[in-house]
Amino acid sequence: MGNVRGTVFKDSPINNVVSYLKFFGSTGLTGNDRVQAFQFLDNYSIVSASGPILDGSSTPRLNYGVYPNAAITWEKQQSTNFGINAALLNSKVNLNFEYFIRNTKDILMARALSVPATFGRDLPTENYGKMRNRGWEASLGYREKIGAVNANFNFNISHVVNKVTKIDDPVTALDYQRQLGRVYGFRSGYETDGIFRTQEEADQWFGGQQFGQKSLAGDLRYVDINGNGQIDIQDQKVISNYNNTPRMMFGLSSTLSWEQFDLNFLVQGAAQRNLMIQGTGRVLYAGGGSSGNFAYLEDSWTPDNINAEYPIAWTDARSINNRNSTFWLKGAGYVRLKSASLGYTLDNTWLHKNGISKIRVYLSGFNLLTWSQIKQFDPEVSASNGLYYPQQQNFNLGINLTL
């Protein structure tokens, strides 16, 4: 849409503040067909290794493949964005902002939620799903020179929210199972109210039973969401509108220099993100008790440790406690000093006489400091069972030689 500074702000005092100003916008349609090919054809295979016994021998049979979908077509995404680019104060400050909307329709999905498994054949992918993504991105840069000090800072941030606008929710689905009108990937589970510290507490909670099992001291205490007077699978609800994919991400980078010294660093972070601790992340003794898992689970309930942070220790998983719930749901927002480098550059006549332009000595490090909501695992991991290669903290001392 062009640079409007020269026309809108001509002969205006604001011209001394705004160095550059540009508004922009665009829209476009893209397609996606990343699904199994030839789904419009009916296909089958002949199985000769097994079949009905006729005349004392196995008879080959037909095995039908995916049910054909003659109407299959592209998945389509309509993307619209608009924003502003600006440079202020003689280009010392740079500002960029963009807002976008992405409407995706004809999403290729198998209608597995509303069609029962008794249908008898593999379901094809169909063009029926719809989703909307809305978000924004912004960046702010600042550069300044004060005497011998040169400073350059860049900050960026983004935020995205999605919403399912069409999907095949079953008619009989409970509220926590329905996806229509909700964020894709929302979390459902049980609401907990602490841990039973004594057997008396467990016996007094809904007749001493949860999910048809006897409650023990050290078990999680679940809330009766639907008010039917018992704890069962219908007591689930939506417990989070986001998951391990962050809605918000941000970062700050900087380059500073003073005479022969230079300093560079990168800070990154994420917000509105969580992890549901799963599997081995919930179990102190795995493999039938042959191995222990994570140190934080050592603070599990025992008769001598009734105020423990975690439920009763169990060989493998105890089903009452091994359920997705607010107890195992942990916020995973974080801020991390991802990298930093401090250097000193030698540039003198002696070096030049010996064929060397300059020498830079530096000390750098990675994953230096972290502020995190989650304490059990590294905040950047997606493996919520804890089975991941750990982040490494590295320090490097080096020399850059320029001839």
Specify the pLDDT at position 110.
83
Neighbouring residues of 248: CB distance < 8 A, sequence distance ≥ 6: 157, 158, 159, 270, 271, 272
Return the sign of the alpha-carbon dihedral for residues 206, 210, 212, 216: negative
Q: Residue 132 pLDDT > 50, yes or no? A: yes
For residues 217 and 248, is the Cβ–Cβ distance under 8 A?
no
Residue pair 284/314 in contact (Cβ under 8 Å)? The answer is: yes
41 in any annotated domain: no
Element (H, E) at 25: strand 18-32
Tens-place pLDDT, residues 180-229: 999 999 999 999 999 999 999 999 999 999 999 999 999 999 999 999 99
- Structural domain count, the chain: 1
What's the pLDDT tens digit per position in 66-83?
888 888 888 999 999 999
For residue 160, the tally of other CB atoms under 10 A from its CB is 17
Q: Report how far residue 50's alpha carbon sits from residue 380's, in angstroms, rounded to the nearest whole number.
A: 49
Confidence of residue 3 (pLDDT cuts 50, 70, 90): very low
Give the confidence band of 348 by pLDDT, cuts at 50, 70, 90: confident
Q: What's the sign of the alpha-carbon dihedral 116, 180, 227, 223?
A: positive
Which amino acid is it at 357? S
Q: What's the pLDDT tens digit per position in 365-397?
A: 999 999 999 999 999 987 888 888 888 999 999
Which whole number is the average pLDDT over 294-300? Answer: 92
Full residue range of the structural domain in which residue 93 is found: 5-34+72-331+382-389
- Per the domain annotation, does 77 fall within a domain? yes
Say if residues 121 and 66 touch (Cβ distance below 8 Å): yes
Separation of alpha carbons 113 and 398, rounded Å = 57
Residue 10 has pLDDT above 60, yes or no: no
193: helix, strand or coil: strand
Kindly report the pTM of this predicted structure.
0.85
For residue 319, is it within any domain? Answer: yes
pLDDT band at 34 (very low <50, low <70, confident <90, very high): confident
Nearest-angstrom CA–CA distance, 329 and 183: 17
Q: Provide the mean pLDDT of the chain.
A: 89
Q: Is residue 357 part of a domain?
A: no
Domain membership of residue 340 (yes or no) is no
Assigned domain for 129 exists: yes
Which of these, 158, 183, 342, lies nearest to 274 by C-alpha position? 183
Residue 344 placed within a domain: no
* pLDDT value for 170: 87
The answer on pLDDT for 292 being more than 90 is no
Does position 276 have pLDDT exceeding 80, yes or no? yes
Q: Is residue 23 domain-resident? A: yes
Q: Half-sphere exposure (CA, 13 Å, Cβ side) for 395? A: 3
Q: Which residue has the higher pLDDT, 196 or 289?
A: 196
